[in-house]
Amino acid sequence: MKSIKILLAVILSLGSLSKAYAEKRSEYWLQRVSLFEKLQITSQDIVFVGNSITDGGEFSELFSDHHIKNRGINSDVIDGVYERIDNVLAGKPAKIFLLIGINDISHNLPVSALIEKYDRLVNKIIHDSPSTKLYVQSVMPINNDFLRYKNLIGKENILIEFNDALKKLAIKKNVMFIDLWESLADPDSSKLKPEYTNDGLHLTGDGYLQWAARINEFIHD
């Protein structure tokens, strides 16, 4: 009788895990991944990978280059990128511009855990596509004066800590680190300049122009 109860508990547990796994990615994430799987990446391509901030960027137009591909997905996290990066790496792209982590921070994960996840992702990119130049971009500043994203209120120092850890990781892995902070933050408050956002997190057109100006040299190096 006891063994039967244990077996039932295991079955219920596995069912809960399967359900949790199925629900952990949004419909939009699944839609975008299914599309990306149909679109080919080549060795001539420059690929932007990230969350909604990347998702919203028209990079091929910003840089007038049809070899630039956008693989950003709204609300994505480091683990989400890890799960779907194979499609990008299979094409052995010339460059990857990676921007991910702000949603993980909003989920209250400690920086140490985030860097462990990020380290695994970087290792995979280097191992699976060693010819690809990887650019690790810092997370961008936020502006909580908009009071839009409650889970990011009071976490400004965590963003700075995360970026410091990202820079150290990039140096350790011998990949390029790009600091986006100074191009977007008010130098006095360290907040995302209000002229570059309308919600405190995502960029307006002027914000994207600032981002593009910051990384232009790396696009063309």
Give the pLDDT of the chain (221 residues) as one tens digit per residue. 444 443 334 333 333 333 333 457 999 999 999 999 999 999 999 999 999 999 999 999 999 999 999 999 999 999 999 999 999 999 999 999 999 999 999 999 999 999 999 999 999 999 999 999 999 999 999 999 999 999 999 999 999 999 999 999 999 999 999 999 999 999 999 999 999 999 999 999 999 999 999 999 999 98
Is 7 among the domain residues? no
φ, ψ (nearest 5 deg) of residue 39:
-105, 130
Give the residues across from 68 on adjacent strands: 46
Is 31 among the domain residues? no
- Check residue 4 and give its pLDDT: 46
The parent domain of residue 178 ranges over: 40-219
- Check residue 20 and give its pLDDT: 39
- Check residue 18 and give its pLDDT: 34
Residue 72: strand, helix, or coil:
strand
Contact in structure between 106 and 152 (CB atoms under 8 Å): yes
- Check residue 24 and give its pLDDT: 78
Is 178 among the domain residues? yes
DSSP element (H, E) containing 135: strand 133-137
Alpha helices in the chain, H assignment, sequence order = 2-23, 27-36, 52-55, 59-62, 78-84, 86-89, 102-106, 111-128, 156-173, 181-184, 205-219
What global pTM score does this model have? 0.89
Work out how many domains the chain is built from and give that number. 1
Residue pLDDT, tens place only, 154-178: 999 999 999 999 999 999 999 999 9
* CATH code for the domain of 180: 3.40.50.1110
Between helices 111-128 and 156-173, what is the axis angle to 10°? 30
